[in-house]
């Protein structure tokens, strides 16, 4: 294409994209007006109004995210039809709703990501726009169906390379403009069960999983949006890093959590020993929890006397044993089965009391008198303090937190439950992430306190009745005042409002959006769940997640080679087959889009040592900067770290110092999982390697966080896998002078 032809094309494309923004602005104004009108109300019921307001708010968010990079490409079919591809879809309402911009998730957009020279998918040309804000800066063309895939001067990979080489910002960016064919195949895969996506560092598995969520919400909107999507990540820093991706794609009905957040209100502030974490993550802990609950279902050491109807009856071991057997046989959770236990004990006590009270004058043949006396005794037992205390001793109402805390802090209770002594800790309620799955299991084992729930419900009904009564008095006062008026045509208050309606206005309504409501509700179930860094989850963690998604629709991403948890996955089949036998699929990503070849070669040498069966991903690019190492003394280490930080502060992009505990200014490798930085300084790799059972995986994570520059500081000899690093007297990369 000549320079003049290129300029004319660029001018034409800028005009078209400007027209798309005009349509976007008009649609925003329309939705904003409808939203304001809905807030004022149009005579509909409060529920109808809330539904309309939420729908319009969701549409407004969808339109807002499209402002930057609304349109990022164009396809030309073999017949000459032009298809513009963007973040959202727009139509021409004046031309029979003809599409003027295709949503990237639409089937007609797929060729933009998967068409190749060998398989052009019916396309002649693919054009990718480079934009800044609302402005098209330039474009690159790729001619499809040619042997070489492009005409002279075309830059088919320009958009991808520009994206991966750009300095990193504060969070992960979407890849909607640069999705590659192997990624697109996973994003659009039609599989209703569990999809496992495994890939090494930099293969984009996280962002692919998030784009898959956006795709599923687009194609299955009605089925999915009422329940939302759960995204589970390893730590809060990771979740903050990825939090912008889905909103940038127009999706907000998504809940982000770590495994430690899955029981609302619980804060995990302590760490388990590796052995305790292994024990808590194993299914064998289920027997321990069941035994801990059963241990609270007790026989009395001696008969418990109960004064009833003027006589003394006793709860003995035989009665209690019968009641326990019946309660357990009911299959109900512990707290709900208390009603069965209470029923048996009550029956025995009342039968014994009636027999003593009616001795000499009452027989079972006089059923009416017998039942009348039983009714009186039941009324007496309802408020009987000694009877309630006996029930609390023999079959107490249990809370999950209290039960688990008392179990873990008591050697006697652990022994009674058949648990390993390694689970003991001094502070029972010093919660760890591994405790979350145990508490979730106990919620299932214990159930709710039905008696307390009924009491709360009765109190709410009484409060509601009082509000309605008050409202009725207010209306009576208003009507009385109007009765004294001379105007026969006045409008009565009751013509507009009744007491129940007035009471409704004092009811506090839940105005939280779906994500807020779901995050606060332990019993909320999701239509789809994304699990990132899934290799770290234990078998008990998976039980929790499966409860959150009864439909078993998951996108699972991870890398077994990066596993650091002793309770984590060694096999995807072992974790998933018990829940979705035959309903899970495996896909792998083989291309590293983040880590340049120079850095990946260092990490690959380490991988070959600790996971010789794993194949490192192939880097798509080189950065031209070789990783370096520098040996320092203990006294020089802080200054060397500071020199690296100051040098990187002067550059665009992000940087991080990663090291073992105790290194000044460094973060732990585990805290950087899933994150990426332009420059990384790894301090004391030998200590990382020696720290814990998965030290090699920790070091592998640290070495693969950088997108441009990697440096290593060490006091002792380098680990063998890193011995090939070029030693330098300064942490400044090659080609950059040392700071004076």
| Amino acid 341: pLDDT | 98
- Tell me: pLDDT of 160 over 80: no
Q: Which of 244, 245, 10 is nearest to 131 (CA)?
A: 10
| Amino acid 23: pLDDT | 93
Q: How many whole angstroms separate alpha carbon 63 and alpha carbon 59?
A: 6
Q: Which of 470, 494, 497, 500 is nearest to 482 (CA)?
A: 494
Q: How many whole angstroms separate alpha carbon 674 and alpha carbon 705?
A: 8
Q: What is the distance, to the nearest Å, from the Cα of residue 297 to the centroid of all Cα atoms in its chain?
A: 36
Q: Where are the beta strands (DSSP E) in 28-92?
A: 71-77, 82-86, 90-92
pLDDT tens-digit map of 334-375:
999 999 999 999 999 999 999 999 887 888 788 898 899 999
Pair of tokens at residue 622: 């080189």
- Tell me: pLDDT of 266 over 70: yes
Rg value, the chain, Cα: 34
The angle that helices 285-294 and 274-281 make with each other, rounded to 10 degrees, is 80
pLDDT grade for 481, boundaries at 50, 70 and 90: low
* CB-facing half-sphere around the CA of 190: CA atoms within 13 A: 3
pLDDT grade for 485, boundaries at 50, 70 and 90: low
When comparing pLDDT for 95 and 21, which is higher?
21
Cα–Cα distances (Å) from 442 to 271, 335, 550, 683, 695, in that order, read 20, 11, 19, 42, 33
Q: Which of 653, 615, 597, 593 is nearest to 179 (CA)?
A: 593
| Amino acid 476: pLDDT | 64
pLDDT tens-digit map of 70-103:
998 899 999 999 999 998 899 998 888 899 999 9
Within a 10 A sphere around the Cβ of 696, how many other Cβ atoms? 22
- Tell me: pLDDT of 168 over 70: no
- Tell me: pLDDT of 220 over 90: no
| Amino acid 735: pLDDT | 39
pLDDT grade for 737, boundaries at 50, 70 and 90: very low
Longest dimension (CA), the chain: 118
| Amino acid 26: pLDDT | 92
pLDDT tens-digit map of 371-406:
999 999 999 999 999 999 999 999 999 999 999 999
Q: How many whole angstroms separate alpha carbon 376 and alpha carbon 308?
A: 10
- Tell me: pLDDT of 483 over 70: no
- Tell me: pLDDT of 440 over 90: yes
| Amino acid 153: pLDDT | 37
| Amino acid 150: pLDDT | 44
- Tell me: pLDDT of 447 over 90: yes
pLDDT grade for 484, boundaries at 50, 70 and 90: low
- Tell me: pLDDT of 421 over 60: yes
pLDDT tens-digit map of 269-286:
999 999 999 999 999 999
When comparing pLDDT for 47 and 593, which is higher?
593
When comparing pLDDT for 160 and 224, which is higher?
224
Mean pLDDT of the chain: 86
| Amino acid 496: pLDDT | 46
Q: Which of 394, 416, 393, 433 is nearest to 289 (CA)?
A: 416
What's the whole-number mean pLDDT along residues 522-528? 94
What's the whole-number mean pLDDT along residues 712-735? 77
pLDDT tens-digit map of 297-341:
999 999 999 999 999 999 999 999 999 999 999 999 999 999 999
Instruction: Please give the share of the chain, as a percent, with pLDDT higher than 70.
Output: 84
Pair of tokens at residue 551: 């439909």
- Tell me: pLDDT of 492 over 60: no
Instruction: Assign 410 to helix, strand or coil.
Output: coil
- Tell me: pLDDT of 203 over 70: yes
| Amino acid 729: pLDDT | 59
- Tell me: pLDDT of 290 over 80: yes
| Amino acid 569: pLDDT | 95
Q: How many whole angstroms separate alpha carbon 475 and alpha carbon 75?
A: 67
Instruction: Assign 449 to helix, strand or coil.
Output: coil
Pair of tokens at residue 113: 């990501």
What's the whole-number mean pLDDT along residues 707-729? 89
Which among 172-181, 417-426, 581-590 has the top mean pLDDT?
417-426
pLDDT tens-digit map of 24-38:
999 999 999 988 888
pLDDT grade for 225, boundaries at 50, 70 and 90: confident
When comparing pLDDT for 529 and 112, which is higher?
529
| Amino acid 491: pLDDT | 47
Q: Quote the pTM value.
A: 0.78
| Amino acid 740: pLDDT | 32
- Tell me: pLDDT of 548 over 80: yes
pLDDT tens-digit map of 675-717:
889 999 999 999 999 876 688 999 999 999 999 999 999 999 9
Instruction: Please give the share of the chain, as a percent, with pLDDT higher than 90.
Output: 55
């Amino acid at each position: 294409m000549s320079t003049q032809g290129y300029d004319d094309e660029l001018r034409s494309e800028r005009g078209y994209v400007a027209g798309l923004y005009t349509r976007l602005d008009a649609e925003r104004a329309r939705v904003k007006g409808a939203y304001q009108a809905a807030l004022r109300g149009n005579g509909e019921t409060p529920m109808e109004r809330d539904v309309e307001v939420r729908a319009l708010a969701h549409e407004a968010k969808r339109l807002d995210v499209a402002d930057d990079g609304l349109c990022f490409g164009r396809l030309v079919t073999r017949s000459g039809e032009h298809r513009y591809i963007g973040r959202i879809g727009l139509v021409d309402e004046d031309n029979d709703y003809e599409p003027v911009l295709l949503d990237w998730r639409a089937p007609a957009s797929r060729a933009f990501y998967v068409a190749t020279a060998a398989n052009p998918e019916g396309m002649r040309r693919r054009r990718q726009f480079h934009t800044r804000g609302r402005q098209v800066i330039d474009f690159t063309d790729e001619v499809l169906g040619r042997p070489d895939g492009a005409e002279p001067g075309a830059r088919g990979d320009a958009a991808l390379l520009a994206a991966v080489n750009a300095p990193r910002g504060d969070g992960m960016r979407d890849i909607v403009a640069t999705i590659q064919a192997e990624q697109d195949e996973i994003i659009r895969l039609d599989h209703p069960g569990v999809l496992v996506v495994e890939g090494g560092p930099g293969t984009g598995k996280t962002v692919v999983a998030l784009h898959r969520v956006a795709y599923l919400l687009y194609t299955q909107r009605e089925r999915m949006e009422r329940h939302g999507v759960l995204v589970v990540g390893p730590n809060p820093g990771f979740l903050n890093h990825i939090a912008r991706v889905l909103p940038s794609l127009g999706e907000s009905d998504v809940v982000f959590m770590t495994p430690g957040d899955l029981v609302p209100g619980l804060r995990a502030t302590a760490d388990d020993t590796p052995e305790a974490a292994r024990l808590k993550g194993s299914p064998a802990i289920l027997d321990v929890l069941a035994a801990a609950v059963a241990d609270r279902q007790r026989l009395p050491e001696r008969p418990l006397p109960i004064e009833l109807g003027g006589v003394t009856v006793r709860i003995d071991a035989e009665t209690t044993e019968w009641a326990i057997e019946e309660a357990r046989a009911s299959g109900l959770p512990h707290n709900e089965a208390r009603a069965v236990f209470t029923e048996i004990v009550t029956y025995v006590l009342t039968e014994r009391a009636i027999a003593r009270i009616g001795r000499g004058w009452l027989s079972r043949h006089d059923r009416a008198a017998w039942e009348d006396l039983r009714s009186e005794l039941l009324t007496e037992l309802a408020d009987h303090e000694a009877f309630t205390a006996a029930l609390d001793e023999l079959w107490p109402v249990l809370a999950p937190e209290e039960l688990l805390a008392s179990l873990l802090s008591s050697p006697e209770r652990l022994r009674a439950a058949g648990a390993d002594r390694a689970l003991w800790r001094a502070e029972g309620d010093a919660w760890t992430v591994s405790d979350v799955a145990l508490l979730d299991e106990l919620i299932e084992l214990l159930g709710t306190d039905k008696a307390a729930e009924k009491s709360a419900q009765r109190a709410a009904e009484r409060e509601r009745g009082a509000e309605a009564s008050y409202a009725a008095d207010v209306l009576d006062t208003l009507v009385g005042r109007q009765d004294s008026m001379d105007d026969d045509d006045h409008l009565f208050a009751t013509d507009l409002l009744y007491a129940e309606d007035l009471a409704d206005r004092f009811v506090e309504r839940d105005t939280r959006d779906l994500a807020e409501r779901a995050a606060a509700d332990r019993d909320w179930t999701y239509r789809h769940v994304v699990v990132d860094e899934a290799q770290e989850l234990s078998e008990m963690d998976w039980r929790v997640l499966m409860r959150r998604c009864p439909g078993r629709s998951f996108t699972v991403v991870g890398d077994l080679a990066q596993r650091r948890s002793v309770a984590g996955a060694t096999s995807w089949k072992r974790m998933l087959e018990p829940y979705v036998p035959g309903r899970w699929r495996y896909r792998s990503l083989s291309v590293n889009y983040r880590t340049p070849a120079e850095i990946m070669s260092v990490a690959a040498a380490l991988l070959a040592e600790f996971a010789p069966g794993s194949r490192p991903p192939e880097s798509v690019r080189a950065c031209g900067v070789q990783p370096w190492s520098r040996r320092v003394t203990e006294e020089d280490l802080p200054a060397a770290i500071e020199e690296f930080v100051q040098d990187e502060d002067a550059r665009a992009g992000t940087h991080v110092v990663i090291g073992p505990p105790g290194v000044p200014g460094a973060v732990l490798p585990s805290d950087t999982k899933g994150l990426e930085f332009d420059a990384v300084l790894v301090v004391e790799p030998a200590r990382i390697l020696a720290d814990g059972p998965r030290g090699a995986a920790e070091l592998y994570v640290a070495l693969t966080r950088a997108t441009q520059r990697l440096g290593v500081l060490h006091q002792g000899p380098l680990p063998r896998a890193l011995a090939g690093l070029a030693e330098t007297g300064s942490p400044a990369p090659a080609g950059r002078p040392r700071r004076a």
